[in-house]
Amino acid sequence: FLFFLFAPTLVYRRHYPRTTCIHWGAVVTRLLEGIGVVYYTYLVFRWVLPQFDRLSVFSDYTSFFAARVGAMGPGMALMFLGHYLILHTWQNMFAELTRFADRRFYEDWWNARTWEVFYRKWNGVVHEFIKEYAYLDLHELGGLTRTQAMGVAFFISAVIHEWIISFVFGGFYPILLLLFGGPGMLFIVLTRRMRARVWSVFLWLMLG
């Protein structure tokens, strides 16, 4: 159990796959990457915060829309930086320090053509947690269909994310919960059976 507290996973097992030794060169590399990502995040925030400060003084929708479009690039940059920092740099560094061998913290979400695949590949750590402790229990023990179990598990995931954000920032502003429960669920239904490459373009546009 003590190992579980430090291992980069949210799913408890009696035994985990382990590597034979710690590669300290990889640890230092991940640490330097983390410092670099934090610095770049600081630079992006310095550029984008004035954009949001001006949102409260716009008197027409045109100016508001222009500022919204102008913030799309930095917003996506922050999303990528945050993903890289947490799910690549941080997780791999702790995996190396604890000799944790299962390092599939994310998959090729950038190639996803449906939102269901995107949510599954974006964050493997949280996906496995929700799957093991919510989805499978709801489906196998609760008697819900796969679609119903997925919907309930998706809602639970949204609530957990919102609770974490509210705790960190000290306030409740349920924009993430609304995005998960509204457009998030709608896009899953709309793109579930879509396999054409154009839907990958649609996904990236919606992320922006």
Catalytic center residues: 161
SS3 (DSSP) at 160: helix
Strand partners of residue 100: 18
Rounded to the nearest 10°, the torsion over CA 160, 162, 164, 167 is -140
Residue 91 near residue 8 (C-beta atoms within 8 A): yes
Q: How far apart are CA 59 and CA 195, in angstroms?
A: 42
Helix, strand, coil shares, percent, the chain, to 5: 75, 0, 25
Cα 134 to the center of its chain, rounded Å: 18
